[in-house]
Amino acid sequence: MAGWGTAETIFATLAIYFAIVLIIGIIVEKYVKNLADYILGGRRLGPYVIAFSERASEMSGWVGLGLPGEGYSSGINSTWNTIGCFYADLLCWTTISRRIRRFTESVGALTIPTYLEARFGEGRGVLRIVSAAIITFFLSAYVGAQFLASGKVFAAIAATSGITTNLQLWIIVGAIVMIIYTVLGGFFAVCWTDYVQGWWAVIGFILIVVAGLAAVGGPLGLAQKMAATTVNKQGLNLLSLNNFWGYEYTGALLLIIMLSYIAIGFGWPGNPHITVRFMGIKKPKDLKKAAITAMLLLLVVYYLAQATGWIARVMPNVAAKVQQMGSTEYTMPMLALSVLHPVVAGVVLAAPVALMMSTADSQLLVAASAIVEDIYRRTFRKGLEEKKLVLWSRIVTFAIGIIALLWALFFSKSVYYFVLFAWGGLGAAFGSVMLLSVLWKRMTASGAFAAMMAGASGVIIWKSYVKGYIFAPGGNHNAQLPLLAASVPIIVFITTLIGSSLIERSGKRGLAAAVAALIVTLFTWVPWVYARYYIDPKFTAWWYELLISFPMATIVAIVTSYVTPAPPAEKVSKVFELMEKPTPSELEAVEPEPIALSEVDYIKHYIKATGLLAKNKV
């Protein structure tokens, strides 16, 4: 068992790990020749690299630190996290992945905003610019959560010796490493280091769980100790099905909490750092291999992470250390430092750091591409050469990293809930839009825009309310319910009126869309606000913002689409044909040609793919 004065050895081991991922970034930098390479790796990545990258980019510090903390406090009920995530990831791989991959190659789309613009034929750039802004906002917060998580790991290690445990200092150290190697290599660096980090995370969690199980008497001994470990004065134990975070919940409140865990899955189709993985695979036929690999990896890592928390809670010495650190998110580092040799502990602690880095780099890249590709180039500098675009992408990546660092330093203390805010915002804004865009031909650009407004505003308003920033003077969450109930419908009405009027090129149609969105939000948001008040007046349960924002956005998208003119049937049929038929690269078994190298190339690809000039050539 490792002592508590081994920080230097562990930091040295972690330094070797950081050197490995930095070297990968430097090596693959030579493959980045144009913006398509930087953003999607030129669509040249195999199924296993993509699968590990998709999993590693999602799991983040939320799995590395948050899930062990959930296992520590909620016991067996932490498995609701896995339930809420498994079905959603499976849905994305089976429903979205192939259609997105084929369509984006056909029209030359490199990013989600550009995909939405091409899918709905929205020529004024409203969908593209607004979606890029939403992505940048929430992803910068998401990256900030990873910086916070890395700071907690380093602070936990430092606590074993006389090295400073200043959390903000260690947040800055982790941020610097993550930003540098993402700036160096773009998508190639991200995916290949994700592949390494995915394996590292699996091996790390296996080592700590095996060592932990040996210390508590194996799986049977763990189960017995979980049943004997009480979490509150009422006698709840780690196997109690109504124990969440050490509190007992029954009836409607228990149901709300379980539904909130299920709602985590709603975020899957809307998180662009996951969706772009589908776009970057070399061969669409390999998506099945990638899906199987990704789903197995999800189950293995999630359950190992939760087991880490269970083991730590039943070991009194480790539990005492966690309590001393003041947060259950120190569970995994403290267990590793207690049961492993310092060198092995360094290897194991690289696992959560690997997950944080793989998520942060993915999100930095997606956010940078949203600004450079979707706003800067397509709006202001259409003829800018490729080398300058790559340079600007790196500059923007660095700038967003600094913004994310500010999120980490000043706006949150919990990695778990910090991630769920950003995850929920992206899922609510884009989840229903992405699903409906590949399944429903009647969907319109105005419907997509209204859904983004409803989803994003619902998450931001509810989280701000829960945190006490708005509509809760003096911490009284029941003081301004009418204002809370009116906020989202008013925001959605105003933003939809403006956006839809621009999209439809008609104030009358824009007003019709805005009224439809207003009615839907009134009949969804207002009941949600008052249901919380009547069911849970003391606000003791977890009412996850995605539980209301995703279904609200979905209904808004459907209703608003029906009150705005349907897209031309011929055009929509062509779009869905491109989603379903094999691409030339599949049929000819050749590398996909370089795409979207300039604005002119993009227009040519889009016209050719949609056949817009087939009948009226100019």
User: Using an 8 Å Cβ cutoff, are 67 and 419 in contact?
Assistant: no
DSSP codes, 35-96? HHHHHHGGG-B-HHHHHHHHHHHHHHHIIIIIHHHHHHHHGGGGGHHHHHHHHHHHHIIIII
* Amino acid type, 572: V
* Amino acid type, 116: L
What's the pTM value of the predicted model, to 2 decimals? 0.85
Residues facing 247 on adjacent strands: 244
In a domain, 211, yes or no: yes
pLDDT reported for residue 607: 39
Q: Kindly state whether residues 445 and 409 are assigned to the same domain.
A: no
pLDDT reported for residue 358: 66
In a domain, 103, yes or no: yes
Instruction: Choose one of 415, 449, 464: the last residue of a domain.
Output: 415
pLDDT reported for residue 255: 95
pLDDT reported for residue 385: 63
Q: How many CA atoms lie within 13 A of 142 on its CB side?
A: 33
CATH of the domain at 330: 1.20.1730.10
In a domain, 600, yes or no: no
In a domain, 423, yes or no: no
Q: Kindly state whether residues 151 and 263 are assigned to the same domain.
A: yes
Q: Kindly state whether residues 240 and 119 are assigned to the same domain.
A: yes
Contacts of 13 by beta carbon, 8 Å cutoff, 6+ apart: 342, 343, 345, 346, 347, 350
Q: Kindly state whether residues 373 and 231 are assigned to the same domain.
A: yes
Find where tokens 């909490």 sit: 257
Instruction: Choose one of 380, 415, 450: the last residue of a domain.
Output: 415
Distance, in Å, from the CA atom of 422 to the CA atom of 364, rounded to the nearest integer, reads 13
pLDDT reported for residue 62: 78
User: Using an 8 Å Cβ cutoff, are 260 and 251 in contact?
Assistant: no
DSSP 247: E
Q: Kindly state whether residues 478 and 389 are assigned to the same domain.
A: no
Instruction: Choose one of 349, 382, 415: the last residue of a domain.
Output: 415
Q: Kindly state whether residues 542 and 403 are assigned to the same domain.
A: no
Q: Kindly state whether residues 129 and 241 are assigned to the same domain.
A: yes
Residues in the chain predicted with pLDDT less than 50, given as ranges, are 1-4, 34-42, 187-188, 589-618
Find where tokens 């817009």 sit: 612
pLDDT reported for residue 143: 85
In Å, how far are 81, 138, 201, 221, 375 from 312, measured between CA atoms?
Answer: 19, 32, 18, 13, 47
Q: Kindly state whether residues 61 and 129 are assigned to the same domain.
A: yes
In a domain, 1, yes or no: no
In Å, how far are 118, 128, 234, 315 from 400, measured between CA atoms?
Answer: 26, 19, 47, 41
Q: How many helices (H) and strands (E) does the chain have?
A: 25, 2
In a domain, 609, yes or no: no
In a domain, 431, yes or no: no
User: Using an 8 Å Cβ cutoff, are 189 and 28 in contact?
Assistant: yes
Range of the domain at 390: 7-415
Q: Kindly state whether residues 350 and 444 are assigned to the same domain.
A: no
Q: Kindly state whether residues 501 and 391 are assigned to the same domain.
A: no
In a domain, 597, yes or no: no
pLDDT reported for residue 417: 81
Q: Kindly state whether residues 363 and 463 are assigned to the same domain.
A: no
Q: Kindly state whether residues 558 and 474 are assigned to the same domain.
A: yes
In the chain, the number of structural domains is: 2
Distance, in Å, from the CA atom of 339 to the CA atom of 58, rounded to the nearest integer, reads 28
pLDDT reported for residue 178: 76
